[in-house]
Structure 1
Amino acid sequence: MIHTLQNASLNILLADDDADDRYFFEKALNELSIVTKFISVSDGAKLMDYLSKNSENLPDIISLDFNMPRKNGLECVKEIKRNENLKHIPVIMCSTSLGDQIIDVLYSMGAHYYLHKCSFQEQIKCIQNILNMLMENPMQPSKDKFILNLQEV
């Protein structure tokens, strides 16, 4: 279950193979009004390994890059949402581009939001917006709210 604003912090796990994207995501989290604990891994296989080894301390939210080596974001969403111990964790998909078919598949598999990778300042606003929405309601939103862009922030 997602922590409320009264709790100490949100545990956020990012899986992204791009070191710069991991750095800027963490930097964006540090700019937010919400206190977060940040963990990152560099690919989907490491993500699934981390989740299996840390079942007592699972993240509140997982952010996944779609295109990663060894195991991509789509494969990770499938595994997360099929696992009884993990399926409750909201998943945010991030990518520079995805086609409508993949977006439909990600939504139907249970991903909560799709965020197009954007500039640092836009990223801060988008992440703040997503975290606020998830703290208000951790359930998967309706399909029309799945894709987020700056105009909705």
Structure 2
Amino acid sequence: MKIVLVDDDEDDRMFFADALQEIEISTELAEFHNGQELLDYLSEPDVEHPQLIFLDLNMPVMDGFQCLRQIRKNPELKDLVVAIYSTSSSERDIEETFVNGANIYINKPNRFEELKKTIGQVVKRNWQYRENAMDKANFLFRI
């Protein structure tokens, strides 16, 4: 499974990569520092799109809000699965990402075991058969 993490915090990227390695699913992780790097990568010819993007909100150059809007506006990218992955628990941030088409909102866990469990459940979810109608009750992911 091809997974992308977009996060400007190096420690958070290492923490995420370590947790992902311990999940019992074969994955390939690509990491980017901001939304613009991700969009540049996705626009390259012959790039295989990821099955799942974990997108932080607060980043330099292009933040997660801007990146999400660009993904959803692009006909070639609009169906990608985007999991917001942020320290923010602001209702405003949750609402804005829901309205702009994110598939799920995850608050970054502080403990490694919690992170591993969260990532595992999100990665193992069968996104291929997700319902087209967004359900806000299931949008905010909690462990």
**TM-score, normalising length: structure 2:** 0.91
Shift of 1:134: 3.6
- State the aligned residue count: 141
Structure 2 equivalent of residue 104 of structure 1: 95
Query: What code does the residue aligned with 1:11 have?
Result: K
Q: Tell me how far apart the structure 2 counterparts of residues 97 and 14 of structure 1 sit (CA, whole Å).
A: 17
How large is the Cα RMSD of the aligned pairs?
Answer: 1.6
Aligned CA distance change for structure 1 residues 78 and 136 (closer, same or farther; 3 Å): closer
Structure 1 counterpart of 2:40, from 41, 44, 49? 49
Unaligned runs of 5+ in 1: 1-9
Structure 2 equivalent of residue 66 of structure 1: 57
Q: 2:81 touches 2:127 (CA, 8 Å); kept in 1?
A: no
Structure 2 residue 21 is the aligned partner of structure 1 residue 30: yes
**TM-score, normalising length: structure 1:** 0.86
Q: Tell me how far apart the structure 2 counterparts of residues 136 and 122 of structure 1 sit (CA, whole Å).
A: 25
Q: Deviations over 1:18-58 (max 9, x none)?
A: 01111111111101111111000111111111111155311
Structure 2 residue 134 is the aligned partner of structure 1 residue 149: no
Q: Tell me how far apart the structure 2 counterparts of residues 71 and 139 of structure 1 sit (CA, whole Å).
A: 29
Q: 2:41 touches 2:47 (CA, 8 Å); kept in 1?
A: no
Unaligned runs of 5+ in 2: none
